[in-house]
Amino acid sequence: MQALSTEAWSAIHALTPHDRNVMDEMRAVIEPNKGKLRGVAARAPYEAIMGRVVAPVGVNFRPDTIGGVAGWWCEPADAEPGTVILHAHGGWFNWGSAESFRHFVGHIARSARAKAFVPDYRLAPENPFPAALDDIHACYLGLVESGARSIALTGDSAGGNLALVLLALVSARSFISRPAVGAVVLSPVTDLAMKGASWESRKTADPLFVREQAEELVRAYLNGRDPADPAASPLYGDLAGLPPVRVHVGDDEVLLDDSIRYVERAVAAGVDAKVDVWEGMVHGFLGSIGQLDAAAQALDAIGAFLSKQLASPRRA
């Protein structure tokens, strides 16, 4: 698949004929339910969706508790000792679990040849902001205390939001002996004020989400807090001094501009940041590994980046 350069910090990957056919079939299944996943009632169907991700070969899964937070380890047989990926799962802050995401994250771990931990952070509305952030921060500190030599952050959707906020947090705190070596986020929710132009420009192309649906979920998470608080929306934070960041997003997502604007700001702040935009792809396309060319190629790029960063620990 050819990558067409746009800015130095972005690339657009052309849609292959194979992926066009696969996406047409997927859209026929998912579009009738567009915008219908609402509130806590959506947790069970969301778990079922994530549970369909095929398990990666050669990866062992086991539950554990790190930093007082329960979760699941994804452990490739050939993982490099001392390297760890901390992954914050998606679900609009209201849905998802470490168990249902373990296969999805297992593919990332296998590609990077590093074990990954997925925390079961607390969900809204029962536990609104900043409970989820507090949990993944505690988990990161637990990994540091356990002696992890090198830690990278990953996250998808709302988990991408949490990973980027945590990245800024641990990069700014000099007392942490193991700052994160980098981050990869997939279609991150970076702006809870929802000011991105793609909420309008991609509202027809996106087969999953509508603005009203997302607004309800964000309100449940924020519980009255300012959406422009940098701890809630990484787009508005101080991005100077961050380690390298890579972002992957589908071109047919209402969240497209959340990715592009974040990377644009990060680059302006001097960060080694890049965004890969995948034509014809929708939110969560990486979960279709084994079906989509784009998913396989994005996963290869993610694994190569994480392997490189994890091999060079960043000092405080």
pLDDT tens digits for 27-73? 999 999 999 999 999 999 999 999 999 999 999 999 999 999 999 99
Show the CA angle centred on residue 90, arms to residues 300 and 261, nearest 5°. Answer: 75
- The strands making up 83-88's β-sheet, listed across from edge to edge, are 3-5, 10-13, 273-278, 245-250, 183-186, 150-156, 83-88, 115-119, 69-76, 59-66
* Three-class secondary structure assignment of 208-235: CCCHHHHHHHHHHHHCCCCCCCCCCCHH
Q: Cα(228)–Cα(225) distance, rounded to whole angstroms?
A: 9
Name residue, tokens 């939001």.
Answer: 161
315 occurs within a structural domain: no
β-pairing, 273-278 vs 183-186, is unpaired
* Cβ atoms of 94 and 124 closer than 8 Å: yes
182 occurs within a structural domain: yes
Report, as residue numbers or ranges, the catalytic residues: 157, 253, 283
Count of domains observed in the chain: 1
pLDDT tens digits for 168-207? 999 986 657 789 999 999 999 999 999 999 999 999 999 9
pLDDT band at 316 (very low <50, low <70, confident <90, very high): low
pLDDT band at 298 (very low <50, low <70, confident <90, very high): very high
* Cβ atoms of 168 and 140 closer than 8 Å: no
What would the DSSP string read from start to end of 79-111? PPTTEEEEEE--STTTS--HHHHHHHHHHHHHH
pLDDT band at 2 (very low <50, low <70, confident <90, very high): very low
78 occurs within a structural domain: yes
CATH number of residue 140's parent domain: 3.40.50.1820
pLDDT tens digits for 222-241? 999 999 999 999 999 999 99
Check residue 312 and give its pLDDT: 83
In the chain, the percentage of residues whose pLDDT exceeds 70 is: 96
316 occurs within a structural domain: no
> What is the pTM assigned to this prediction?
0.96
Q: Cα(168)–Cα(238) distance, rounded to whole angstroms?
A: 8
Q: Which ranges constitute the DSSP H helices of the chain?
A: 17-30, 43-50, 98-112, 131-145, 158-172, 198-201, 211-222, 256-268, 293-310
pLDDT band at 93 (very low <50, low <70, confident <90, very high): very high
Residue 315 has pLDDT above 70, yes or no: no
Check residue 174 and give its pLDDT: 62
Q: Which of 91, 310, 58 is nearest to 209 (CA)?
A: 91
Check residue 1 and give its pLDDT: 41
Q: Which of 194, 222, 66 is nearest to 131 (CA)?
A: 222
Full residue range of the structural domain in which residue 263 is found: 3-310
pLDDT tens digits for 98-153? 999 999 999 999 999 999 999 999 999 999 999 999 999 999 999 999 999 999 99
Q: Cα(81)–Cα(73) distance, rounded to whole angstroms?
A: 14
- If you average pLDDT over every residue of the chain, what do you get? 95
113 occurs within a structural domain: yes
